[in-house]
Amino acid sequence: MTTTSIPPAIAEPFTKIRPHSGWAALNLPEAWKFRDLLFALAARDLKLRYKQTALGVVWVIAQPLMAAAIFSFVFGKVARLSSDGVPYLLFSFAGLLGWNLFSATVTKCSGCLVGNSQLISKVFFPRLILPLSTIPSVLVDFAVAAAMMALLMAIHGVAPGWGILLMPVWMAVLLMLALGIGLGAAALAVPYRDVQYIVPVFMQILLYASPIAYAISAVPEHLRSVYLCNPLSAPLEAFRASLLHTAWPGWESLAVAAGFSAVVFLAGLYAFKRMERQFADVI
């Protein structure tokens, strides 16, 4: 086979290409170099959402508002569950605010590789940019819905307490968990397309299995320890408590949920990087 003799190179190579292995592939400095791409992709998603839609931004508010109205009717009026003394609409809207942050991240992340298969097979960039680029648009939606929340609270004369300062913490816990699941699902969806159909079903189940339309206190006592195994329970409840002075989940369950989210996040990241090298070959 060919071996051409060359004088030894003086400069260090700009890029070294080697077969990938495990964590070595997690090249964060490289991902940072591509930050402009992250924002360009996020900007694309946002622009597309508001182009050729009659209602545009209205949907971002209308969707949780309608869901909250239905939840208030079913759980507040029909089932007559307790909402810890706040108007039921506020109660369920606050739950949905946290939930949508989580579910939108999972859904968008899990579809980002298959949805951009054209890019993956034709251009190089750190693949991690794709799932990360979904976050800005999720956060914009969150901000719009949060403004609606503030309006609703003002209408009902509910003022948040100091607890609101902890909101970013709960958001971070929810986002970590969502990214962990989303990254894993995105990587799995490359060889197995049915992951895309499983995710929505999974999210539908999780919506009712988490304290969004009702409070943890409405769950029968003897089931509560099982219920708290859902890592979403504690952060969602804490999220709502920060806004509306509702009951706080225990600190232990919050700590466990935060720890669990961190583990899921790292596991998702690892799975994503492990499978990254195959993306272009399989997709």
Q: Using an 8 Å Cβ cutoff, are 264 and 181 in contact?
A: yes
Looking at 64-72, 98-106, 121-129, 235-243, which segment touches another protein (CB under 8 A)?
Answer: 121-129
According to the binding rule CB under 8 A, does residue 274 interact with another protein? no
Using CB under 8 A, pick the residue from 29, 54, 118, 201 that binds another protein. Answer: 118
Kindly state the tokens that stand for 146. Answer: 């949060």
47 backbone φψ class: left, alpha, beta (φ>0; ψ -120 to 50): alpha
DSSP 60: H
Closest distance between another protein and the C-beta of residue 30, in Å?
Answer: 10
Q: Give the C-alpha separation, 100 to 157, whole Å.
A: 24
Q: Using an 8 Å Cβ cutoff, are 27 and 276 in contact?
A: no
Using CB under 8 A, pick the residue from 41, 106, 153, 228 that binds another protein. Answer: 41
Helix (H, G, I), strand (E, B) or coil at 35: helix
According to the binding rule CB under 8 A, does residue 40 interact with another protein? yes
Q: Which is nearer to another protein, 245 or 277 (CB)?
A: 277
Q: Which is nearer to another protein, 10 or 223 (CB)?
A: 10
According to the binding rule CB under 8 A, does residue 257 interact with another protein? no
216 class by beta-carbon count within 10 Å (0-12 exposed, 13-18 middle, 19+ buried): buried
Binding-site ranges for another protein (CB under 8 A):
1-7, 9-11, 13-20, 34, 36-37, 39-41, 43-44, 47-48, 51-52, 118-125, 188, 191-195, 198, 277, 280-281
